[in-house]
Amino acid sequence: MLIARTIAELRSHCATLRARFGSLALVPTMGALHAGHMALVRAAMTGEPVGREAVGREAVGREAGVVASIFVNPLQFGPTEDLARYPRDEAGDLAQLAAHGCHLVWLPDVATMYSPDDATTISVEGPALRWEGDARPGHFRGVATVCAKLFGQVRPDRAYFGEKDWQQVQVVTRMVQDLRLPLEIVGVPTVREPDGLALSSRNRFLTLAERSVAARLPAVLADAARRLAEGTAADPILDGARAALTRAGFVVDYVALVDGPTLAPLPATRPAARLIAAARIGSVRLIDNMPSYPSPAKSGRGIGSERRG
Ligand code: AMP
């Protein structure tokens, strides 16, 4: 596995991989890697269509050169957020990436990505305006800016993002579309623990007691998604889900039924609807989401499409 720590090394290794594989796939991460990240690496490796987009789509048909980036991006953390305590484990990350056959790891430092006098950031509106955009002002500006820089450095043909961060995938997709960037964004279904909790680098901060409560988040969402799929008005079901999470011990930021690509709230489910939520337990903020399509004959897929880790 190749490693690049400077732009010169990155350019040279990307040229080698492009000559060997013909195409490049990028998996952007902030490190502290787990099985969720590895699902992105696997998808990038094969070019197989994944998730909902897989229906009726051709496989890319050949292995791509896979570049994983590890960069804890200061610009996407708010002043009161957990940048300083964000977990870092470069040796463990490199071992996992090598074991999964990743071809190149890009490890830029902050000075490679930002200068103190930078005058340019990327601000996405539309899908970035609500939910995480409200709860974390400046977050998506940080995400869009670092992704634009990574895309310019690596020049991948495809970049892989986890549906765990549903709104993020939509924001990056929209940026790529609006800026006419020459790459495809691929969303990969969420990898979960056996009890349903979505894998996240931040789960390690949960105490034992909080960890058992945390699994209530996907359980409550799955229950609400099932009931929404019957097509009744969303509001009472969403109120019920908020109340159930509060009773379980969460401080709820939001539970909403939205149009998947635009994140606009919906009064009832319809094709491409998504149930999204953010809630805090102790010092840890969890986000999760699930499809909530009209049932059953109108849509072949429900919440069973995600993978248990
Ligand atoms: P992060 O390192 O948290 O910025 O995540 C890097 C990428 O991995 C993002 O595209 C995330 O959405 C994705 N990811 C994180 N957790 C999971 C998971 N449990 N399942 C699938 N993808 C994930």
- Kindly report, residue by residue over 132-189, the tens digit of the pLDDT: 999 999 999 999 999 999 999 999 999 999 999 999 999 999 999 999 999 999 999 9
pLDDT at 308: 63
- Residue 39 Cβ contacting ligand 1 at under 6 Å: yes
With tokens 């056959």, the residue in question is: 101
Q: Is 201 in the pocket of ligand 1 (CB under 6 A)?
A: yes
Quote the ligand 1 centre to 120 CA distance (angstroms).
26
Mutate to test the pocket of ligand 1, among 37, 105, 166, 173 (most ligand atoms within 8 A of CB): 37
201 C-alpha to ligand 1 centroid (Å): 8
Task: Give CA–CA dist 223/216, Å, rounded.
Answer: 10
Per-residue pLDDT of the chain in tens (309 residues, 90 and over written 9): 999 999 999 999 999 999 999 999 999 999 999 999 999 999 999 887 665 555 455 555 568 999 999 999 999 999 988 899 999 999 999 999 999 999 999 999 999 999 999 999 999 999 999 999 999 999 999 999 999 999 999 999 999 999 999 999 999 999 999 999 999 999 999 999 999 999 999 999 999 999 999 999 999 999 999 999 998 899 999 999 999 999 999 999 999 999 999 999 999 999 999 999 999 999 999 999 999 988 765 444 444 456 665
* 162 CA → ligand 1 middle, Å: 5
pLDDT digits (tens, 9 = 90+) for 192-203: 999 999 999 999
Q: How far is the CA of 27 from the centre of ligand 1 (A)?
A: 9
37 as an active site residue: the answer is yes
Q: Which of 13, 34, 37, 103 is catalytic?
A: 37
- pTM, two decimals, is 0.93
